[in-house]
Structure 1
Protein backbone atom coordinates (compact mmCIF):
# COMPACT_ATOMS: atom_id res chain seq x y z
CA UNK A 1 0.00 0.00 0.00
CA UNK A 2 1.24 3.48 -0.79
CA UNK A 3 1.98 6.00 1.95
CA UNK A 4 -0.65 8.84 1.96
CA UNK A 5 2.07 11.46 2.23
CA UNK A 6 3.78 10.23 -0.91
CA UNK A 7 0.46 10.25 -2.81
CA UNK A 8 -0.20 13.92 -2.20
CA UNK A 9 3.43 14.95 -2.67
CA UNK A 10 3.77 13.06 -5.97
CA UNK A 11 1.07 15.16 -7.66
CA UNK A 12 1.34 18.74 -8.76
CA UNK A 13 -0.14 21.37 -6.43
CA UNK A 14 -3.25 22.04 -8.55
CA UNK A 15 -3.79 18.44 -9.73
CA UNK A 16 -7.14 16.78 -9.19
CA UNK A 17 -7.29 14.14 -6.49
CA UNK A 18 -9.39 11.00 -6.12
CA UNK A 19 -11.59 10.35 -3.12
CA UNK A 20 -9.04 7.80 -1.89
CA UNK A 21 -6.21 10.32 -2.01
CA UNK A 22 -8.23 13.00 -0.19
CA UNK A 23 -9.43 10.42 2.33
CA UNK A 24 -5.85 9.36 3.09
CA UNK A 25 -4.62 12.94 3.28
CA UNK A 26 -7.30 14.03 5.76
CA UNK A 27 -7.49 10.76 7.68
CA UNK A 28 -11.25 10.57 7.02
CA UNK A 29 -13.06 7.60 5.49
CA UNK A 30 -14.46 8.04 1.95
CA UNK A 31 -18.08 7.69 3.09
CA UNK A 32 -17.58 10.71 5.37
CA UNK A 33 -16.35 12.75 2.40
CA UNK A 34 -19.44 11.73 0.43
CA UNK A 35 -21.62 12.75 3.40
CA UNK A 36 -19.89 16.13 3.54
CA UNK A 37 -20.60 16.59 -0.17
CA UNK A 38 -24.30 16.16 0.57
CA UNK A 39 -24.17 18.55 3.54
CA UNK A 40 -21.95 21.31 2.11
CA UNK A 41 -23.03 22.74 -1.25
CA UNK A 42 -19.62 24.28 -1.89
CA UNK A 43 -17.97 20.85 -2.27
CA UNK A 44 -18.70 19.71 -5.81
CA UNK A 45 -16.18 17.18 -7.11
CA UNK A 46 -16.05 16.43 -10.80
CA UNK A 47 -17.69 13.06 -11.48
CA UNK A 48 -16.51 10.96 -14.38
CA UNK A 49 -17.85 7.77 -15.92
CA UNK A 50 -18.84 5.24 -13.30
CA UNK A 51 -19.26 7.99 -10.70
CA UNK A 52 -15.54 8.32 -9.96
CA UNK A 53 -14.92 11.57 -8.09
CA UNK A 54 -12.10 13.99 -8.79
CA UNK A 55 -11.56 16.80 -6.32
CA UNK A 56 -10.18 20.16 -7.44
CA UNK A 57 -7.61 21.94 -5.27
CA UNK A 58 -10.29 24.32 -3.94
CA UNK A 59 -12.52 21.34 -3.02
CA UNK A 60 -9.63 19.76 -1.09
CA UNK A 61 -8.99 23.04 0.74
CA UNK A 62 -12.70 23.34 1.62
CA UNK A 63 -12.68 19.75 2.89
CA UNK A 64 -9.62 20.52 5.04
CA UNK A 65 -11.54 23.45 6.54
CA UNK A 66 -14.64 21.31 7.13
CA UNK A 67 -12.49 18.64 8.80
CA UNK A 68 -10.87 21.25 11.06
CA UNK A 69 -14.21 22.80 12.02
CA UNK A 70 -15.96 19.50 12.73
CA UNK A 71 -13.18 17.36 14.18
CA UNK A 72 -10.87 19.83 15.87
CA UNK A 73 -12.93 22.90 16.77
CA UNK A 74 -16.13 21.13 17.75
CA UNK A 75 -18.57 22.72 15.31
CA UNK A 76 -21.79 20.94 14.40
CA UNK A 77 -22.48 20.35 10.70
CA UNK A 78 -25.00 23.20 10.78
CA UNK A 79 -22.55 25.50 12.57
CA UNK A 80 -19.77 24.66 10.11
CA UNK A 81 -22.16 25.34 7.21
CA UNK A 82 -22.99 28.76 8.69
CA UNK A 83 -19.31 29.48 9.34
CA UNK A 84 -18.40 28.70 5.74
CA UNK A 85 -21.30 30.85 4.52
CA UNK A 86 -19.87 33.76 6.54
CA UNK A 87 -22.73 33.90 9.02
CA UNK A 88 -20.58 32.90 12.01
CA UNK A 89 -17.56 35.01 12.81
CA UNK A 90 -16.11 33.07 15.73
CA UNK A 91 -15.75 29.56 17.06
CA UNK A 92 -18.43 28.07 19.28
CA UNK A 93 -18.09 28.91 22.98
CA UNK A 94 -16.03 26.60 25.15
CA UNK A 95 -18.00 24.39 27.52
CA UNK A 96 -18.79 26.02 30.86
CA UNK A 97 -16.58 24.92 33.75
CA UNK A 98 -18.09 22.66 36.35
CA UNK A 99 -19.57 24.78 39.13
CA UNK A 100 -18.11 24.53 42.63
CA UNK A 101 -20.46 23.46 45.41
CA UNK A 102 -22.57 26.20 46.91
CA UNK A 103 -20.92 27.89 49.92
CA UNK A 104 -24.02 27.38 52.09
CA UNK A 105 -23.62 23.58 52.18
CA UNK A 106 -23.42 22.49 55.84
CA UNK A 107 -20.18 21.00 57.08
CA UNK A 108 -20.06 17.21 57.16
CA UNK A 109 -19.64 15.64 60.58
CA UNK A 110 -17.09 12.93 59.81
CA UNK A 111 -17.29 11.46 63.31
CA UNK A 112 -21.03 10.88 62.92
CA UNK A 113 -20.58 9.38 59.44
CA UNK A 114 -17.93 6.96 60.72
CA UNK A 115 -20.23 5.88 63.54
CA UNK A 116 -23.02 5.19 61.02
CA UNK A 117 -20.59 3.23 58.83
CA UNK A 118 -19.46 1.11 61.79
CA UNK A 119 -23.08 0.35 62.80
CA UNK A 120 -23.90 -0.67 59.21
CA UNK A 121 -20.84 -2.93 59.06
CA UNK A 122 -21.85 -4.66 62.33
CA UNK A 123 -25.43 -5.09 61.08
CA UNK A 124 -24.16 -6.70 57.87
CA UNK A 125 -21.90 -9.07 59.81
CA UNK A 126 -24.80 -10.12 61.99
CA UNK A 127 -27.03 -10.85 59.01
Structure 2
Protein backbone atom coordinates (compact mmCIF):
# COMPACT_ATOMS: atom_id res chain seq x y z
CA UNK A 1 0.00 0.00 0.00
CA UNK A 2 1.14 3.54 -0.73
CA UNK A 3 1.76 5.90 2.19
CA UNK A 4 -1.37 7.90 1.28
CA UNK A 5 -3.54 4.88 2.06
CA UNK A 6 -4.54 4.49 -1.59
CA UNK A 7 -3.94 1.12 -3.23
CA UNK A 8 -0.78 0.84 -5.31
CA UNK A 9 -1.17 1.12 -9.06
CA UNK A 10 -0.52 -1.79 -11.36
CA UNK A 11 3.01 -1.99 -12.75
CA UNK A 12 1.82 -0.97 -16.24
CA UNK A 13 -0.26 2.00 -15.07
CA UNK A 14 0.71 5.57 -15.86
CA UNK A 15 2.00 7.63 -12.94
CA UNK A 16 1.52 11.30 -12.18
CA UNK A 17 4.58 13.29 -11.21
CA UNK A 18 3.42 13.21 -7.57
CA UNK A 19 3.06 9.43 -7.61
CA UNK A 20 6.46 8.97 -9.25
CA UNK A 21 8.00 11.38 -6.77
CA UNK A 22 6.65 9.35 -3.84
CA UNK A 23 7.66 6.00 -5.36
CA UNK A 24 11.17 7.11 -6.31
CA UNK A 25 11.88 9.37 -3.36
CA UNK A 26 12.85 12.14 -5.78
CA UNK A 27 11.42 15.66 -5.50
CA UNK A 28 9.11 16.75 -8.30
CA UNK A 29 11.42 19.61 -9.29
CA UNK A 30 14.23 17.09 -9.91
CA UNK A 31 11.96 15.04 -12.18
CA UNK A 32 11.03 18.18 -14.14
CA UNK A 33 14.72 19.17 -14.35
CA UNK A 34 15.66 15.74 -15.68
CA UNK A 35 13.09 16.18 -18.45
CA UNK A 36 15.16 19.16 -19.64
CA UNK A 37 18.43 17.20 -19.50
CA UNK A 38 17.42 13.79 -20.85
CA UNK A 39 15.57 13.84 -24.18
CA UNK A 40 14.65 10.18 -23.68
CA UNK A 41 12.46 11.18 -20.71
CA UNK A 42 9.27 12.51 -22.26
CA UNK A 43 6.15 11.86 -20.17
CA UNK A 44 2.79 12.44 -21.79
CA UNK A 45 1.33 15.85 -21.04
CA UNK A 46 -2.41 16.31 -20.92
CA UNK A 47 -4.62 19.33 -20.35
CA UNK A 48 -3.17 21.72 -17.83
CA UNK A 49 0.37 20.40 -18.49
CA UNK A 50 -0.30 17.45 -16.19
CA UNK A 51 2.44 14.84 -16.65
CA UNK A 52 1.77 11.13 -17.01
CA UNK A 53 4.78 8.86 -16.84
CA UNK A 54 4.57 5.61 -18.81
CA UNK A 55 6.14 2.44 -17.36
CA UNK A 56 9.21 2.95 -19.58
CA UNK A 57 9.54 6.54 -18.25
CA UNK A 58 9.38 5.21 -14.68
CA UNK A 59 12.11 2.66 -15.49
CA UNK A 60 14.25 5.40 -17.06
CA UNK A 61 13.83 7.67 -14.02
CA UNK A 62 14.91 4.85 -11.74
CA UNK A 63 17.88 4.10 -13.98
CA UNK A 64 18.97 7.76 -14.07
CA UNK A 65 18.55 7.95 -10.30
CA UNK A 66 20.74 4.87 -9.80
CA UNK A 67 23.42 6.11 -12.18
CA UNK A 68 23.58 9.57 -10.59
CA UNK A 69 23.17 8.71 -6.94
CA UNK A 70 24.65 5.23 -6.59
CA UNK A 71 27.08 4.69 -9.47
CA UNK A 72 28.79 8.09 -9.40
CA UNK A 73 27.82 9.34 -12.86
CA UNK A 74 27.49 13.03 -13.60
CA UNK A 75 24.54 14.43 -15.58
CA UNK A 76 26.82 14.61 -18.62
CA UNK A 77 27.99 11.03 -18.04
CA UNK A 78 24.42 9.72 -17.89
CA UNK A 79 23.53 11.69 -21.03
CA UNK A 80 26.48 10.15 -22.86
CA UNK A 81 25.73 6.63 -21.63
CA UNK A 82 22.08 6.84 -22.65
CA UNK A 83 22.89 8.27 -26.09
CA UNK A 84 25.55 5.60 -26.69
CA UNK A 85 23.02 2.86 -25.95
CA UNK A 86 20.74 4.12 -28.69
CA UNK A 87 23.42 4.06 -31.43
CA UNK A 88 23.89 0.26 -31.66
CA UNK A 89 20.12 -0.22 -31.62
CA UNK A 90 19.74 2.15 -34.56
CA UNK A 91 22.46 0.35 -36.52
CA UNK A 92 20.88 -3.01 -35.71
CA UNK A 93 17.54 -1.69 -36.89
CA UNK A 94 19.04 -0.70 -40.24
CA UNK A 95 20.49 -4.18 -40.66
CA UNK A 96 17.11 -5.73 -39.85
CA UNK A 97 15.38 -3.51 -42.39
CA UNK A 98 17.94 -4.46 -45.05
CA UNK A 99 17.43 -8.16 -44.26
CA UNK A 100 13.65 -7.80 -44.46
CA UNK A 101 13.92 -5.99 -47.78
CA UNK A 102 16.14 -8.76 -49.14
CA UNK A 103 13.54 -11.36 -48.15
CA UNK A 104 10.81 -9.24 -49.73
CA UNK A 105 12.77 -8.92 -52.97
CA UNK A 106 13.43 -12.67 -53.04
CA UNK A 107 9.74 -13.42 -52.51
CA UNK A 108 8.71 -10.90 -55.18
CA UNK A 109 11.14 -12.51 -57.63
CA UNK A 110 9.84 -16.01 -56.78
CA UNK A 111 6.24 -14.87 -57.30
CA UNK A 112 7.14 -13.26 -60.61
CA UNK A 113 8.93 -16.45 -61.77
CA UNK A 114 5.99 -18.58 -60.65
CA UNK A 115 3.51 -16.39 -62.52
CA UNK A 116 5.66 -16.47 -65.69
CA UNK A 117 6.24 -20.21 -65.57
Distance in structure 2 (CA, Å) of the matches to 1:81 and 1:68: 13
Deviation above 3 Å: which 4+ runs of structure 1?
Answer: none
**79, 82, 85: which one pairs with 2:80?**
82
Q: Give 5+ residue unaligned stretches, structure 2.
A: 86-117
Specify which structure has the higher proportion of helix: 2
Higher relative contact order (CA 8 A, sep 6+): 2
With the length of structure 1 as denominator, give the TM-score of the two structures: 0.61
Aligned to 1:39: 37
With the length of structure 2 as denominator, give the TM-score of the two structures: 0.66
Q: Give 5+ residue unaligned stretches, structure 1.
A: 88-127
* Greater Rg by CA: 1
CA RMSD of aligned residues (A): 1.7
Distance in structure 2 (CA, Å) of the matches to 1:44 and 1:27: 19
